[in-house]
Structure 1
Amino acid sequence: MAATLSSVHAVVLEHRERNKKSSRADIERFIQESELKLASLESQISALIELRDRERTCVATLKDLIAPIHTLPVELLPEIFEVAIRAESHVEDALQISQVCSGWRQVSHSTPRLWTGKMWINLREDTHGDREQVYVDELKAWLLRSVPLTIPITLVLDSESINNRILDEVMRTAPRWRSLTLKMESEAPAPSFVSRLAESKLNNLEELGLLRFDKDVDRAALLSFTTAPRLRKLEILSNFLPMSMPWSRLTGLTFTSSTLTVLDILAQCPNLIQAVVRAAGWNVLPQARRDILTLSHLRTLDLRFRDGQHFVPLSDCLSAPALEELYLDFWNRETDRLFWTSAHFTAFQLRAANITQLGFEDSLLTVDDLKIAIHHAPSLTHLTLDNCGACFDDAFANALCYKPDTTPLAPNLHHFVLFRFDFGDNFTEDTLARMIVSRWWTDTELASRLVPPAVARWTHVELNGNRYLGEELADMLKDLPSDVLILL
């Protein structure tokens, strides 16, 4: 800056000295000549700037051509894009990738699987306001990019009104629905939607979710599901349980029902592999059924009881020889202990002898109850206890503790989760830590042993108490790696 000011000052002095005796006419002529030279120079500068910018663009283009991304086969780009698109934000991620450049847009738009994430579509009238046309156009473009693949759809609707323009775009894709979830914001869907659904060919529908479906809904719509040839998974979170369903073809079922009808429903589903049942227990113990319902393919059973005092009749009447995962949630904690009978549960376990994963939530089972349950699950590898303070104490921790020359409880256990627990007089940090440490060895320690331990080594231990787990416990467990031990 100083050199520039100095140069300007010198030019000023030079012209003052040279032209101090010139006439006004001569000075005006000199001004005109200088302005012409200035215009000529500015023209040359503009041309040079344009040439410079052109060369900069050329350099950037050439560098882009040799960038590592361009050395990859174009077939790999969709694989990279797919990894970059997260399930929880797939709409935003897919759109961002398609807007990076024209090349990426062409590749992404011609890769249908990038556009097959779950769509949450609101069919209610006046939901989108002034953006309705934009929303319809964007939705149509998105759905077209997924052709010819199947897609998952979630529809939000009510009985009052429905946006027919959006409905038209959605229903065109019905033959490609892989999963359909109907989220009701009233007791029944709009009649126009029901009629369109009843006319649809659901040739690729594999999973169906009916949330808050009212018993008065037109059964024509439900009948359309019975003819869906590939429907295998059904979720009904409603007190209304439609009977017109392809029960015999289902492999996955989640439903809410009175306990009196649970067995009737399960009896129609001989091919079930996974079941989640939300049911009310019996307030009065019903007369026992003599027949046993056998679900030969059932591998996962999740039973959640919300009311009542008895659940025993359900397990008394059920046989699941292939069952591997069993989860019991007793929401009514005031009564479940009074009516838990180990003998009944043991009888059920003898008909389900292959359980490897067992979980209890909100239960008041005693330590002895839990020991008996685990004893009759000899292949147990996973145990989850959530808010089960009455059955986990120092005595139970000692039973799990591995000691040489003894066989502890659950020798195959390697995945242990303990949620919502409190240390107290019957449960101490020291005992819990000793139990966990007793079942852990480094690779070097295991390799040095002539005889391997009689128990499995931990692969996952997760502790999440009702209060902060202190540094003392963490210090006692410091030798367990962070990918095995999780303290929350």
Structure 2
Amino acid sequence: MSSRAALNEKIRDCSKSQIQSLIEESQSKLASFDSQIAALIEQREQERVSLTALRSVIAPVWAIPVELLVEIFRCAIAVEYAFTIRDYAPTLRLSQVCAHWREVAHATPQLWSGRVDITNHIPSKLSVSAYAEGLRSWLAHSAPLLIPISITPESDRRLSTCDWKDILPILEEVLEISTRWRSFEILNPIALRDLPAAFVQRLPGYAMDNLEELSLDEQSLTPFTLCFGKTPRLRIVSLARNIRVPLSWSRITNLTLSEPPGFILRLLPHCNDLVYANFSVYGELTPAHAGVALQLKHLRTLSLYFYGNEPDTSWPFVSFLDRFNVPGLEHLRLSLQNVLAWSEPRFTSFQSKTPNITQFELQCSEITSTELAAVLSHAPLLRSLRLKDCLRCLDHTFTDSLHYREGITPWVPRLEAFNLSCDPVSENLAVFETSLLDMIASRWWANEAMDTLSSPPAVARWAHLYIGPPRHHYGETFMNEVQKLKDSGLTIHVYNPQP
């Protein structure tokens, strides 16, 4: 008999009130069953929690020594990861896994010592005060380590932003640890004048005992002065155009500036310890600065970028270069945008005073192959040559100047690497490609060939060569020969997109 038939048999002689009693009885049973099921589900979940805890107790991760766990954390977190309140910050997520990991993370300042990046974007779910409180906690966990500090705008315009004056409480948290600043940078395109006046005015009152690097990347249309507190360890300085910072220049070893030549020449006599100098030079060198001589005996790298609005044939860049007495110079980088004049005698004179140059880079120059050959003939220690966007020098004269022939004293005998990012100027490109290959082959010996030489060659063997990206498309024969050189062990790359 079906359950439906059994029910009909049961209630055949029942009154309506009796049926209502049966309904209430059934509802009571269902409620009892639901209660028992809920209790069982709760017991099941409790048992699952207990099972997970028991498994966790014997999990291999708990046997990892704290020191090793810290190293695992450091590998999982990018060293330079910037401070952020957002919930995907790796450090915050690691510290929320369990009480043990949180204890380890909070006791490891290295995990919190990444760059602190202050932006004008505050997540919509946070107030400025909450953001400042989170930053204060972050900085406390990183103590006593030094911290890189940067101020930069939010690059994603879809995100909500606020005025810089509204984030003063956040900037004040950074000021409170000024003695722990390792570096401080303000990145383009923030206008320094947009920073809260209260922050700018308080900067000189805070000691920055451990500040090593200062970078102010926002150029100003008019001179703007920004003062800092004591910076006894400051060594690396990068200032955009028209930014003025009173500093103890005699201690600076690494300097980047974008200024007129006169300003640079007036400043450099105070920079006796410079090792690295990178200057973007705007404007002309006036006669008043022509006699300024710079004694920079520690300088090893000099990068000069000359800019002009229109091509200028009257202003020789060597008038500026002449001022430098840098006998220890090893790396020279020149970019001559719209500077057409090249004075071979004066540059040769400069080379005679800088005999230790091992790297030479030339960009956007109108130098001819003959003038370049003269440069190479006075660079006996040169190891690396880089030419980029030099439109008049890549021809047979250039390749011939580097071609090694036994019995003839070679130029640049120590040259082992070049980067040629220029188009050849030869009218007969096939002839140029052949001369380029011959020059490369003249300074290359595979390992087996080196072993058979009765004496070492008079020139260094190539270590690394790069050619491109040109507008010129190198032919199939050229590329086949390059592949043979690769197969013999030479590290050479030719950027040669299909025409």
**What is the TM-score when the length of structure 2 is the normalising length?**
0.77
Aligned length: 465
Partner residue of 2:360? 358
Pairwise CA distance, 1:112: 1.8
Instruction: Please say if residues 387 and 421 of structure 2, whose CA atoms lie closer than 8 Å, have aligned partners that are also in contact.
Output: yes
Q: How does 1:366-385 map to 2 (within 5 A)?
A: 366-385=368-387
Q: How does 1:196-345 map to 2 (within 5 A)?
A: 196-210=202-216, 211-212=218-219, 217=224, 222=227, 224-225=228-229, 227-242=230-245, 244-280=246-282, 282=284, 288-289=290-291, 292-307=293-308, 309-332=315-338, 335-336=339-340, 338=341, 340-345=342-347
Secondary structure class of the residue paired with 1:148: coil
Pairwise CA distance, 1:297: 0.6
Partner residue of 2:157? none
Structure 1 position 477 matched with structure 2 position 469: no
Deviations along 1:14-66, one digit per CA (max 9) or x if unpaired, are: 8799999888589x999999999999998888777777766766666666666
Deviations along 1:383-430, one digit per CA (max 9) or x if unpaired, are: 111111312223312432445555543232223222253575265444
Pair 1:43–1:440, CA change in 2 (3 A): farther
Q: How does 1:187-202 map to 2 (within 5 A)?
A: 187=193, 189-202=195-208
Q: How does 1:55-204 map to 2 (within 5 A)?
A: 70=62, 72-86=64-78, 90-91=82-83, 95-100=89-94, 101-102=97-98, 103-122=100-119, 131-156=127-152, 161-183=165-187, 184-185=190-191, 187=193, 189-204=195-210
Instruction: Please say if residues 187 and 214 of structure 1, whose CA atoms lie closer than 8 Å, have aligned partners that are also in contact.
Output: no
Which of 453, 460, 466 is the equivalent residue of 2:464?
460
Secondary structure class of the residue paired with 1:298: coil
Pairwise CA distance, 1:356: 0.9
Deviations along 1:313-351, one digit per CA (max 9) or x if unpaired, are: 22222111211111011111xx42x3x112211211222
State which drifts further: 14-23 or 70-79.
Answer: 14-23
Q: Distance in 1 between matches of 2:277 and 2:54?
A: 59
- Give the percent of matched residue pairs that are identical in Structure 1 and Structure 2: 34
Secondary structure class of the residue paired with 1:163: helix
What is the identity, as a one-letter code, of the residue corresponding to 1:230?
R
Instruction: Please say if residues 110 and 145 of structure 2, whose CA atoms lie closer than 8 Å, have aligned partners that are also in contact.
Output: yes
Instruction: Please say if residues 284 and 310 of structure 1, whose CA atoms lie closer than 8 Å, have aligned partners that are also in contact.
Output: no
What is the identity, as a one-letter code, of the residue corresponding to 2:253?
T
Q: Distance in 2 between matches of 1:163 and 1:436?
A: 59
What is the identity, as a one-letter code, of the residue corresponding to 1:107?
V
Instruction: Please say if residues 188 and 213 of structure 1, whose CA atoms lie closer than 8 Å, have aligned partners that are also in contact.
Output: no
Q: Distance in 2 between matches of 1:104 and 1:113?
A: 15
Pair 1:232–1:73, CA change in 2 (3 A): same
Pair 1:374–1:196, CA change in 2 (3 A): same
Q: 5+ unaligned residues in a row in structure 2: which ranges? A: 154-161
Pair 1:19–1:205, CA change in 2 (3 A): closer
Instruction: Please say if residues 298 and 322 of structure 1, whose CA atoms lie closer than 8 Å, have aligned partners that are also in contact.
Output: yes
Q: 5+ unaligned residues in a row in structure 1: which ranges? A: 1-12
What is the identity, as a one-letter code, of the residue corresponding to 1:386?
K
Instruction: Please say if residues 365 and 391 of structure 1, whose CA atoms lie closer than 8 Å, have aligned partners that are also in contact.
Output: yes
Deviations along 1:80-128, one digit per CA (max 9) or x if unpaired, are: 333443467544798225414224443333322232322231369x997
What is the identity, as a one-letter code, of the residue corresponding to 1:181?
E
State which drifts further: 44-53 or 255-264.
Answer: 44-53
Instruction: Please say if residues 414 and 459 of structure 2, whose CA atoms lie closer than 8 Å, have aligned partners that are also in contact.
Output: yes
Pairwise CA distance, 1:176: 1.3
State which drifts further: 139-148 or 357-366.
Answer: 139-148
Secondary structure class of the residue paired with 1:277: strand
What is the identity, as a one-letter code, of the residue corresponding to 2:110?
R
Pair 1:241–1:172, CA change in 2 (3 A): closer
Q: Distance in 1 between matches of 2:281 and 2:289?
A: 18
What is the identity, as a one-letter code, of the residue corresponding to 1:356?
T
Q: Distance in 1 between matches of 2:390 and 2:147?
A: 41
Q: Distance in 2 between matches of 1:430 and 1:99?
A: 60
Pair 1:301–1:136, CA change in 2 (3 A): same
Q: How does 1:403-482 map to 2 (within 5 A)?
A: 403=405, 406-421=408-423, 425=427, 428-447=432-451, 449-467=453-471, 472=476, 473-478=478-483, 479-480=485-486
What is the identity, as a one-letter code, of the residue corresponding to 1:203?
D
Instruction: Please say if residues 172 and 199 of structure 2, whose CA atoms lie closer than 8 Å, have aligned partners that are also in contact.
Output: no
Instruction: Please say if residues 422 and 465 of structure 1, whose CA atoms lie closer than 8 Å, have aligned partners that are also in contact.
Output: no
Pairwise CA distance, 1:150: 1.4
Pair 1:89–1:351, CA change in 2 (3 A): same
Secondary structure class of the residue paired with 2:390: coil
**What is the TM-score when the length of structure 1 is the normalising length?**
0.78
Q: Distance in 2 between matches of 1:466 and 1:454?
A: 31
What is the identity, as a one-letter code, of the residue corresponding to 2:148?
P
Q: Distance in 2 between matches of 1:432 and 1:63?
A: 68
Q: Distance in 2 between matches of 1:483 and 1:36?
A: 89
Partner residue of 1:8? none
Question: What CA RMSD, in Å, does the superposition of the two structures yield over aligned residues?
Answer: 4.2
Q: Distance in 1 between matches of 2:404 and 2:355?
A: 24
Deviations along 1:162-188, one digit per CA (max 9) or x if unpaired, are: 532222212112121111123442557
What is the identity, as a one-letter code, of the residue corresponding to 2:150?
T
